[in-house]
Amino acid sequence: MALQLGDDAPDFTADTTEGPIHLYEYLGDSWGVLFSHPADFTPVCTTELGEVARLKSEFDKRNTKVLGLSVDSLDSHKGWTGDIKDATGNALNYPLIADPDHKVANAYGMIHPNASSTLTVRSVYVIGPDKKIKLEITYPASTGRNFEEILRVLDSLQLTSDYQVATPVNWKEGEDVIVGTAVTDEEAKDKFPKGFRTVKPYLRFTPQPNR
């Protein structure tokens, strides 16, 4: 059965451009973003991997380790890294997993046979410090992802794991958040000392509590 939210992230050891990695040890207490791309030396993937390198410091700020993956070999990955730097101006600065035997891809369900029987689709898994799956998204090979959106989701996942709040449509760091529906008005007065405004009994906004 496909991996679902709240499932344990499958642990693995694999060769990467930064040496062998044991996932759980590598993540330690950090959050993780594990993302697959279909193939090395391809145009959309080149732009994506360069963009993740550009955003690496933003992932660091969020205590999040990023790992890329495809079914290509380690030699292929190493050969491609120069192109990523040339094409995007950003040198690879995070591990790229080589998964030629599909061990990790199969454990995570990154190969969708009706899209391609051999290549990984553009999967993204966010893994929490508890090693549970917190988010999964899947894009086809023809559509590059927006990694700023992954950062935005990380902000929401981290905030909502620490406070009894949810984030509304299109929310961005710093904007008002929604008081959790399990919190009574009385409790909300204590939990959210900056106050809250009630739009509907089930829709109450409060300033972001950790700012």
Task: Provide the 10 A C-beta neighbour count for residue 102.
Answer: 13
What's the min distance (Å) between Cβ of 42 and ligand BEZ? Answer: 3
Sequence-distant (6+) residues with CB within 8 A of 188 are: 179, 196, 204, 206
Please give the full DSSP string across 106-169, using - where no structure is assigned: HHHT---TTT-SSS--EEEEEE-TTSBEEEEEEE-TTS---HHHHHHHHHHHHHHHHSSEE--T
Sequence-distant (6+) residues with CB within 8 A of 180 are: 164, 165, 166
What's the min distance (Å) between Cβ of 49 and ligand BEZ? Answer: 10
CB 17 within 8 A of CB 95: yes
Smaller CB separation from ligand BEZ, 44 or 154: 44
What's the min distance (Å) between Cβ of 116 and ligand BEZ? Answer: 8
- Based on the shown chain and the rule CB under 6 A, indicate whether residue 49 belongs to the binding site for ligand BEZ: no
Rounded to whole angstroms, the Cα distance separating 159 from 58 reads 16
Binding mask 7-46 for ligand BEZ (x = CB under 6 A): -------------------------------xx--xxxx-
Count interface residues toward ligand BEZ (CB under 6 A). 7
- Based on the shown chain and the rule CB under 6 A, indicate whether residue 76 belongs to the binding site for ligand BEZ: no
What's the min distance (Å) between Cβ of 119 and ligand BEZ? Answer: 6
Pick the catalytic residue: 14, 34, 45, 179? 45
Residues 107-166 that bind ligand BEZ (CB under 6 A): 141
Q: Is there a catalytic annotation at residue 4?
A: no
Active site residues: 45
Which residues lie near ligand BEZ (CB under 6 A)?
Answer: 38-39, 42-45, 141
